[in-house]
Structure 1
Amino acid sequence: MDVAHGAAIRAENLGMKGPRGWVFRGITLDASPGALIAVEGASGSGRTCLLLALTGRMKPTEGWAEVAGHRVPRKMAAVRRISALGPVPDVTDLDPSLTVAEQLRERALLRRRYDGPVRALLRPRAERAARTRSAVSAALDLVGLDLDTLPKGPRTSVRMLERLEELRLSLALALLADPQLVAVDDLDLKLSPAERDEAWELLRTIAASGVTVLAVCSEAPSDAIRVPVPSSAGQNLAPDPAARPGATEHTAPAQPQDAPGDGTDTGVDSTDPPEHRVDPPGPDHPTDELPQQDTTQEGAAGAITEAGRA
């Protein structure tokens, strides 16, 4: 893991509207690199859609945002390349059938094959394995996850992990992509007050390393940059007659499940999902944009699931 700096984030009057009303609206933000940003709101307020918009995974319909100098919505592909998703339900869920070591190794294979530079494939196998081990070790150290302390060590099944252990593993996987921005959804879900404090301390550690952290929560700590999302954004608004019908699902190419290994049980992030399109590129859809997601408070879950398939 070799992060040079975090991503500065700016937003002005950012909003997203679907056929039944606003998902979120009027979001303004100015955060420096390495900041800890808390998107605060009730469940169903559109806070997850805001997180996905600021990481280039969903297209806003009003205002603008700028992440590491890349303007949203016009440069969403560039934003996806420098951002990574930690735990986001229905988008980056861990595979409960895998062990922790297998989850890490799978990410390593996917990143080396699809996200890494082509010249990296020309390096000797031993060198590639050493680089992978080094990157994984650095990420695990940063998130404070010691595999030897798990019930069965690296062979511990993902389904056996506690909530905080899942959080640490998901963040380690995200950090392996060397992102400038890491995003976490529902940070305080199913956590006791003591565990919540521990989770925020984990995010502070990541932010202190230079990576900008964006976290969705129901209650933000006092030292975070607070971005409130009103819970009434998508309620009681008439349908927008100009809104397009729901997007047609396009299934992304299947990823390989097995690939020749290099003797390591560790892995790297593949958090930058391929784009999916509905309309052909044109004046209204530049080639590095995603189509508008028609989401409301009622339909946000379907749009999030769509983003996860992309």
Structure 2
Amino acid sequence: MGSGGGSVGTEAEERPHGAAVVADGFGLKGPRGWAFRKVSFRAEPGALVAIEGPSGSGRTCLLLALTGRMRAKEGHAEVGGLPLPRKMAAVRRISALGQVPGVNELDPAFTVAEHLRERALLQRRFDGSVRALLRRPGTRAAEARARIAEAVAAAGLDLDALPKGGRTSVRDLERPEALRLSIALALIGRPRLLAVDDTDLKLSDADRAGVWALLRSLAAAGTTVLAVCSEAPEDALRITTTASAPEESGEAPEALEAPGTPGTPEEPAGEGTAEDAGAGGTKTTGAKTTGAKTSGPEPVDTEKARTQTAGADAAGTHTDGTGTDTGAAASTTEEGADDALAETGRS
């Protein structure tokens, strides 16, 4: 262990390294309804928690909500004694993510060594104390190398076994190696809570067993582990997610509050009936007709036309010659723009 081992040991004596995770009626609602709902469990520090369920059941959303990356809409949770969603930033500081698609993916053009050096540099830059930043460059470099070696060993990543060692590009890694690299990158920050997504995705039985053995060893060393999977091992604390139907709540669905992903509520499509079908068999969806005629020309009642035009002007609407109510269209466009701006501002 590097020169920072003494401080880590002192901290471990003061409190458990892992973070306890407690959820009570935890739920998160997105554009299509509830991503997950009524999740309740208690995990002690150093526990291995498996979040299982079919794809689309809100497993990744629960993982991100428990690590302070998404804001829950009902219930409450605590991570290391920090309440969610009120202390999301504090929870992010004590937790770390393995590779999560669309959130913190590995750069395929980077080599393994480049990824590790970059993460160590960022860790020192943003999480290091002022005193650590004032240390001599040689001392800081030695500490970074020691931290990288510690994380790589804990993740079970054998650099010598890679095709080009540390110079191997991420695009040339097999799925188990890429997963171990993402875990090593997360461990450089020495988190109290480690979250891993798609743990058993595209793995053989042997590789799956190896990954679960790795996560067990990390939990045994004191780090609390949350792992998303399709099938949880028997010795893990199993949390099963099931997506709730949107009609369970009478409220309009709201967007997920994830960075860079402002949601846009969907508009329900209109429904027609057999009586709504026209002469050509086309079903209408509640849209206004444009005055198109299917038969020959008819005599125009000029007096009636003048009366209708006067009534439209009094109501503040105008037609564009095709029968379309341009005032209503402008109002609709204006309202949609306001909704879009409000949605963007909320993200």
Q: TM-score, normalised by structure 2?
A: 0.69
Could you say if the C-alpha distance between residues 243 and 45 of structure 1 is closer, same or farther in structure 2, counting changes exceeding 3 Å?
Answer: closer
* Other-structure match for 1:9: 21
Q: 2:79 aligned with 1:101, yes or no?
A: no
**Match of 1:168?**
180
Question: Percent of counterpart pairs with the same letter?
Answer: 60
Question: Equivalents in 1 of 2:26, 2:145: separation in Å?
Answer: 40
User: Taking CA–CA contacts closer than 8 Å with sequence separation of 6 or more, which of the two structures ends up with the larger relative contact order?
Assistant: 1
- The residue matched to 1:129 in structure 2 has which SS? helix
Higher helix share: 2
* Alignment deviations for residues 78-115 of structure 1 (CA, whole Å, 9 cap, x no partner): 11110000111111111110111111111122222222
Residue number in structure 1 paired with 2:339: none
The reply on whether 1:120 has 2:128 as its aligned counterpart is: no
Question: Does 1:156 find its partner at 2:171?
Answer: no
Structural mapping, 1:67-78, within 5 Å: 67-78=79-90
- 1-structure distance, mates of 2:66, 2:257: 20
Q: Partner residue of 2:317?
A: none
> Whose Rg is larger?
2
Aligned partner letter, 1:127: T
Matched, 1:227 2:239: yes
Question: 1:181 and 2:210 equivalent?
Answer: no
Distance 2:259 2:194 in 1: 26
Aligned CA-pair RMSD: 2.4
Aligned counterparts of 1:96 and 1:187: Cα–Cα separation in 2: 19
Write the distance in 2 (CA, Å) between the matches of 1:147 and 1:177.
20
Aligned counterpart, 1:143: 155
The change in CA–CA distance for 1:101 and 1:15 in structure 2 (over 3 A counts) is: same
Secondary structure at 2:63 match in 1: helix
| Number of the residue aligned with 1:111 | 123
Question: Is the contact made by 2:29 and 2:35 (CA closer than 8 Å) also made in structure 1?
Answer: yes
| Separation (CA, whole Å) in 2 of partners of 1:294 and 1:86 | 28
Name which of 186, 209, 213 aligns with 1:201: 213
Q: Which runs of 5+ in 1 are unaligned?
A: 252-277, 279-292, 297-309
For 1:90 and 1:250, the matched residues in 2 are separated by 10
Structure 1 CA distance, aligned partners of 2:52 and 2:198?
10
Measure, in 2, the Cα distance between the counterparts of 1:295 and 1:206: 40
Q: Which moved more, 1:105-114 or 1:31-40?
A: 105-114
Partner of 2:323: none
Question: Which residue pairs with 2:247 in the alignment?
Answer: 237
CA contact (8 A) 1:20 1:239 kept: no
Change (3 A) 1:8 1:294: farther
**Cα distance, 1:58 vs structure 2:** 0.3
| Partner deviation per Cα, 1:151-180 (whole Å, 9 max, x = no partner) | 101111111111111111111110111100
Q: Following superposition of structure 1 onto structure 2, how do residues 269-280 of structure 1 map, counting pairs within 5 Å?
A: none
Aligned length: 255
C-alpha contact (below 8 Å) 1:7/1:212 kept by paired residues: yes
Which amino acid is 2:225 matched to?
V
Q: Distance in 1 between matches of 2:257 and 2:234?
A: 39
Q: Secondary structure at the match of 1:108?
A: helix
Is the Cα contact below 8 Å between 2:70 and 2:258 reproduced in 1?
no
Q: Secondary structure at the match of 1:131?
A: helix
Of 54, 60, 73, 1:48 maps to 60
Superposition deviation, residue 145 in structure 1: 1.1
In structure 1, the residue matched to 2:93 is 81
